[in-house]
Amino acid sequence: MRVLVVGGNAGGASAAARLRRLDENAEIVVYEKGDYISFANCGLPYHVGGVIPDRSQLLVQTPQSMKERFNIDFLTGHEVTAIDPQAHTVTVRNLATGSEVVDHYDKLILSPGGSPVRPPIPGIDSKGITPLWTIPDMDRIVAAVRGGARRAVVVGGGFIGVELAENLREQKLDVALVEMLPQVLSFLDPDMAAYAHQELLAHGVELHLGDGVASFAEGTPGTLTVTLASGKQLTADLVVLAIGVRPNTQLAEHAGLAIGPTHGIVVDDHLRTSDPDIYAVGDVVEVEQFVTKSRALIPLAGPANRQARIAANNIAGQDDTYTGTQGTSIVKVFDLAAGATGANAALLTRLGIPFRSVTIHPGQHAGYYPGSTPLHIKLLYGTDGKLFGAQATGYDGVDKRIDVLATAIRMGATVDDLTDLELAYAPPYGSAKDPVNMLGFVAQNDLTQLAESVAPEQLNDELARGALLLDVRQPEETSCGVIPGAMTIPLPELRARLNELPRDRKIIVTYCKVGLRGYVAQRILAQHGFQVANLSGGYTSWEAATTKGIEAEAVPLEREADDQQTRAGAAPARQEAQTVEIDACGLQCPGPLLKLKEALDKTGPGDLIKVTASDPGFYADVAAFAQGQHLDLVDRQRGKLVTATLRKPLQTVPAQGFTVVPGKDDDHATIIVFSNDLDKIIAAFIIANGAQAMGKKVSMFFTFWGLNVLRKDENVRIKKTFIEQMFGRMMPRGANHLTLSKMHMMGLGTNMILGLMKKYNVSPIEAMMRSVLDGGGKFIACTMSMNLMGIHREELIDGIEEGGVATMLGDADQGHINFFI
Ligand code: FAD
């Protein structure tokens, strides 16, 4: 039997090797048009980043090694240009010589993979634009990086684009990631992709979501200008296209083989094409999605290798079947892992399959064992409890949970089955109730209506139907953000305050940080006769589901490292100085700051305080806190956890409070803008401009109603909750819509004042604002108030920063002039 294989990489090489193991006598020839066979394309991004330093490690096999071990002829530089199914022949061109031969087969295996999509965007053929698909592509990118490229634009936020963004960042490039969809990693639901957005932003990747490339143009020699659909322009020394992959079906089409609606080659469950002597495997075939039984293209290495084995088994006379592709996948996003298996919400919705979902945020191992970090896991299942899909993100333990869930789905498990799984447990590795068991418990409660849950995306509908939202967290937690319109009763007070809750409301939706206390509250209320649902995944899920992608200014990594080195040498330690270590993992803002403050009170001058937190926001907060408290930030690291080491100064400063410490430079003026009354805002900007004129650095911190001053004039179309929409409509949109605090007189008084300002040459507010910004002043939008009032970043004018109380107090501490308006 003579077997020819088209394509010498994942599927082709695997099929050939398996066949040889089953049939020592078969003649096997593999044609590969490229220069390499069996190379590790999944490893390409990591050689770019220097994680796999030795390029030769990617070349897993060579034609020589395959000949020696398997007696298979791998002919590189040979492209199969045609198939004649009747004659059982292929035409092969030697790319080096241009000569062609016709070769005969008894069985043919097609594994030509796919090609990166290259849409007809103006300027796409410019120098400096490359995909990342093959070894030569990788070599081009490595050469550009070694040649001094400083700024890269990665187009496409799939797993290759995300991996490449990370690895280019590791090489200290400024990286902008452009994605036409509103999220990266479309195999995840938007609420789960939000964690990847946070991680990318935290590592200085500039994210441009919901914005496609309109054109490329060559700029000054060696640079490119990338113009986005929104009109934004990005400059780059290197552009990498990672927009997607299209199956290489041309050969099959010309040979008359059946092509499916997804444009992949149609194969049966034995991996046979419409011609019984031709098999096809890998990225080129259309598969059956295992859960939904729909047709799909799922280009992954695992399925390609398994299909190759099955095709070879069948050719060798065994009867083997392929049972579909689940799409189990995982990707590293800096320190975060994001994985998924089965169907996601978008697929189920598109196919009209009814489903329910729950999300939980447990620690990946017992909270009391050091280093516990949160996992975010979402389970999707049918109304009969059958598992449809799962997604997880986190710093540790994602692969384990996704693989367990993938296995469960493959075995046709239900929600009930998850509660029965007995999984490995010791404190460093898991919990007695593993997160997978927990998913089962929560989903079971949902299905049995013991504890009905509301998914974050359903919350708006519930509220529109008149539901009351009840926040059962502690007051200090709510300062980090609340869902607009919620009533707050901390869980410990709930039993005593039942009479405050209306019994005429159809339903009460409880929520806490991650869903657990919300569930306890739900059970209390249900047993007192209230109709209650719990917000699945609590505030954490809601925040993730409603967070929009934002752009980040890239923070050059080396600059940060330099800062840290400088600080490390800042002040000598007292000889008997001690180091106090605090574990603030599991706490959210302001928890880690409060713990830090507590430790400060107990330590002496020169002591070091090392704090570890799992809240990513702590990275920014700790710097502002250190500045405000006159502490040396000796070290600050961001990884799975945020760690920071601070040193108390040797000379005692007067107090631990923020405001009583004398300013360091005394050249700052801080104005907290709380109001949105026209008269007060005019006063605020007059003071700000005046302070700048006197040489002060001005920081204006806009909080609560004051945030409205920063809103854009025009209506920004973004998805909002019902309550947010109501709030948004009731509040003034920008500086041009403010009214007087007194004597507004249905607009008459306000217009009179504006007229008088014009008459006496007082600049309009917008001009005063611009002047503060142009003069180097800072506008800081209070993130907590933004959450509270449902104001999104996109609704605010350009040029502002977002920050919390630590940022504001840090600035206030730099001077003596602090106003509250
Ligand atoms: P390929 O591996 O693409 O092989 C096809 C081969 O056929 C090519 O070498 C091509 O040159 C050759 N060929 C095409 N046409 C002809 C012709 N007419 N004549 C002769 N030869 C021909 N998957 C994962 O599961 N996890 C990952 O982490 C992951 N990371 C990836 C990272 C990158 C950068 C890339 C590019 C892919 C990644 N993948 C990953 C996808 C995975 O590599 C593919 O799904 C897998 O390689 C598909 O195998 P295949 O044999 O179908 O195609």
Residue in 300, 328, 333 to alter for ligand 1 test, most ligand atoms within 8 A of Cβ: 300
Residue in 4, 5, 9, 265 to alter for ligand 1 test, most ligand atoms within 8 A of Cβ: 9
pLDDT the model gives residue 434: 96
CA distance 433 to 363: 11
Ligand 1 atom 53 nearest Cα: 113
CA–centroid distance, 147 to ligand 1, in Å, is 28
CA–centroid distance, 12 to ligand 1, in Å, is 10
SS3 state of residue 65: helix
Residue in 18, 41, 93 to alter for ligand 1 test, most ligand atoms within 8 A of Cβ: 41
CA distance 89 to 82: 8
pLDDT the model gives residue 588: 61
Measure the N-to-C terminal CA separation of the chain; round to a whole number of Å.
87
CA distance 734 to 95: 64
Atom number, ligand 1, closest to the C-alpha of residue 10: 51
What is the three-state SS of 185-241?
CCCCCHHHHHHHHHHHHHCCCEEEECCCEEEEEECCCCCEEEEECCCCEEEECEEEE
Ligand 1 atom 1 nearest Cα: 113
CA–centroid distance, 691 to ligand 1, in Å, is 62
Q: Confirm whether pTM is higher than 0.85.
A: no
Find the Cα–Cα–Cα–Cα dihedral 537, 538, 539, 541, rounded to 10°: 20
List residues near ligand 1 (CB under 6 A): 6-12, 31-34, 41-42, 44-45, 79-80, 111-113, 132-133, 160, 248, 251, 282-284, 299-302, 304
CA–centroid distance, 45 to ligand 1, in Å, is 14
Judge whether 274 and 258 are in contact, CB under 8 Å. Answer: yes
The β-bridge relationship of strands 89-94 and 100-104 is antiparallel
CA distance 425 to 423: 6
Atom number, ligand 1, closest to the C-alpha of residue 12: 51
CA distance 687 to 666: 17
What is the 8-class DSSP label of residue 45? H
Q: How many CA atoms lie within 13 A of 392 on its CB side?
A: 30
CA–centroid distance, 70 to ligand 1, in Å, is 21
Question: Which of 66, 39, 33, 109 shows the shortest CA–CA distance to 308?
Answer: 109
Q: Which two tokens stand for residue 537?
A: 């995944």
DSSP characters over 254-266 = HTT--B-TTSSEE
**Strand partners for 669:** 698, 817
- Backbone phi and psi for residue 243, each to the nearest 5 degrees, phi listed first: -90, -20
CA–centroid distance, 277 to ligand 1, in Å, is 23
**Strand partners for 133:** none
Whether 42 is a known active-site residue: answer yes
pLDDT the model gives residue 238: 96
pLDDT in tens, 605-660: 888 899 988 776 678 778 777 877 788 888 888 777 888 999 888 764 443 322 22
Residues of the chain with pLDDT under 50: 549-574, 652-664
pLDDT the model gives residue 479: 62
Radius of gyration of the chain (CA): 30
